[in-house]
């Protein structure tokens, strides 16, 4: 029974990214004065060492595994959905900055629900309006919290 080195590419990639970021930050910290850089550099070294240990352990463990477990492949649909929703959220923050909270929230909730497959006009309008009214009553009127302002409202 041979010992074949098996590499979990996803794990190696994520840990590799962490190590790369740590090395970059370590080089940034080199420009700090001695007293200031000691603590963050200690943390960065610890993180790199831990990531290397995890990398070795993962490789050894997956190589030892006799049977090849079927790797669950993520479908493109899931990836596209996550990226799109994340992008809509980023756009929302941008809109809040430019136009203000209430108008942006109405557009955002409508757009997000529509993208996710909600087609009933009543639901789309009720949630967009209800969310704004609820937030206004609870946070602005009752808790007196100020909302982000912009070109509109």
Partner 1 sequence: MILGIVVGIIIGALPGLTAVMAISLLIPFTFGMNPATGILLLMIIYKSAIYGGSISAILLHTPGTPASAATALDGYQMTLQGKASVALRMSTIASAIGSLLSGVALLTLAPPLSVFALRFGPPEYFLLAIFGLTVIASVSSGSIIKGLIAGAFGLLIGTVGVDINIGFPRFTFGLFQLEGGISLVPAMIGMFSIPQVLNLAKETLKTRNSPTPESIRKVKLEKLFPSFTELKNEFKETWATMLRSSILGIIVGILPGAGADIASWVGYNEAKRFSKHPEKFGKGSLEGIAAPEAANNAVTGSSLIPLWTLGIPGSAAAAVILGGLMIHGLVPGRELFTVHAHITYTAIWGFIVASILMGIIGFVVIKYAALVVNISNEVMMPIITALCVIGSFAITGSIFDVWVMIAFGIIGYFLRQNDFHAAPVVLGMILGPMAETRFTQSMVLADGNMLGYIAGRPISVIIFILIVIALLTPFFGNKKGRRKTAAEIVDE
Contact call for residues 112 and 81 (beta carbons, < 8 A): no
- Closest separation in Å from C-beta 30 to partner 1: 12
Residues that bind partner 1 (CB under 8 A): 10-11, 14, 18, 25, 28-29, 32-33, 35-37, 39-40, 43-44, 46-47, 50-51, 53-54, 57, 77-78, 81-82, 85-86, 89-90, 92-93, 96-97, 101, 105, 108-109, 112-113, 116-118, 123, 127, 131, 135, 139, 143-148
Specify the residue, 6 or 135, whose C-beta has the smaller distance to partner 1: 135
CA angle 44, 36, 25 (to 5 degrees): 35
CA–CA separation, 26 vs 23, rounded Å? 5
- Closest separation in Å from C-beta 4 to partner 1: 23
- Closest separation in Å from C-beta 96 to partner 1: 6
CA–CA separation, 48 vs 123, rounded Å? 50
Specify the residue, 29 or 59, whose C-beta has the smaller distance to partner 1: 29
How long, in residues, is the chain? 153
Alpha helices by DSSP H, 1-153: 9-29, 34-64, 76-99, 101-115, 121-135
């Amino acid at each position: 029974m041979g010992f074949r080195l098996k590499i979990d590419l996803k794990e190696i990639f994520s840990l590799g990214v962490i190590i790369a970021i740590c090395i970059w930050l370590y080089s940034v910290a080199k420009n700090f004065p001695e007293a200031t850089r000691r603590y963050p550099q200690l943390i960065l070294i610890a993180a790199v060492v831990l990531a290397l240990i995890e990398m070795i352990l993962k490789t050894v463990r997956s190589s030892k595994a006799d049977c090849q477990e079927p790797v669950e492949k993520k479908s493109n649909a899931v990836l596209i959905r996550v990226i799109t929703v994340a992008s809509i959220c980023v756009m929302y923050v941008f809109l809040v900055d430019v136009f203000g909270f209430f108008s942006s929230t109405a557009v955002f909730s409508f757009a997000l629900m529509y993208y996710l497959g909600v087609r009933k006009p009543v639901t789309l309008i009720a949630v967009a309006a209800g969310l704004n009214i609820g937030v206004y009553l609870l946070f602005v009127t009752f808790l007196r919290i100020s909302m982000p302002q912009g070109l509109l409202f």
